[in-house]
Amino acid sequence: MSKTAIIYGSTTGNTENAANQLAGLLEADIIDVSTKPEEALTKYENLIFGTSTWGAGDLQDDWEDFISNVESADLSGKVVAIFGLGDSSSNPDTFVGGMGSIYEVVKDKGCKIVGSVETESYDFDESTAVLDGKFIGLALDEENQGDLSDERITRWVEQISKDLH
């Protein structure tokens, strides 16, 4: 068993594809959040949460059903990273807001949050996933910048690997 779990929610398959790519590079276990993997929150030392963003910055539907489990989990001492997908053209004011929603739940849970990313190479107006001028995790935009996703994923994996137990 890996020490790292990638827990993702995907509606169209884009977040699942990113999760699979990350799992391959990190040799991590991959878990669909729709399976309600409560035990994974305690079983793994490192948790990587992935979601797409819907509507006005909303979490992916399966995350909506599971986020309360994260709220009640003890994440003390764990390493947490977040990745999110969004559409910066159609939703420039709520780009990757789902990632921001997960961050709001985990930020005070006693875990070490890693993987912030500079915002310069992205074209958006606002995001709840930006803190101190950086995304709180990996932002991907398959609709408008899909050609940059592989490189962004590779760089992010290099960045967070040193923080994973």
- pLDDT score recorded for residue 55: 84
- How far, in Å, CA of 114 to CA of 48, rounded? 10
- pLDDT score recorded for residue 96: 97
- pLDDT score recorded for residue 56: 86
Cβ count within 10 A of residue 27: 9
- How far, in Å, CA of 71 to CA of 81, rounded? 16
Encoded tokens for 76:
């003390």
Per the CB < 8 A criterion, the answer to whether 99 and 129 are in contact is yes
Q: What is the pLDDT along the chain (165 residues), one digit of tens a residue?
A: 689 999 999 999 999 999 999 999 999 999 999 999 999 999 999 999 999 999 889 999 999 999 999 999 999 999 999 999 999 999 999 999 999 999 999 999 999 999 999 999 999 999 999 999 999 999 999 999 999 999 999 999 999 999 998
Kindly list the domain boundaries of the chain, sorted by start residue.
4-161
Cα dist. 86→55, 74, 92, 111 in Å? Answer: 10, 28, 9, 25
DSSP 60: P
The alpha carbon torsion through 134, 121, 95, 37 (nearest 10 deg) reads: -70
Per the CB < 8 A criterion, the answer to whether 113 and 81 are in contact is yes
139-150 burial code (b ≥16 CB/10 A, e <16): bbbbeebeeebe
CATH class, 4-161 region: alpha beta
Instruction: Calculate ∠ Cα 64-92-11, nearest 5°.
Output: 35
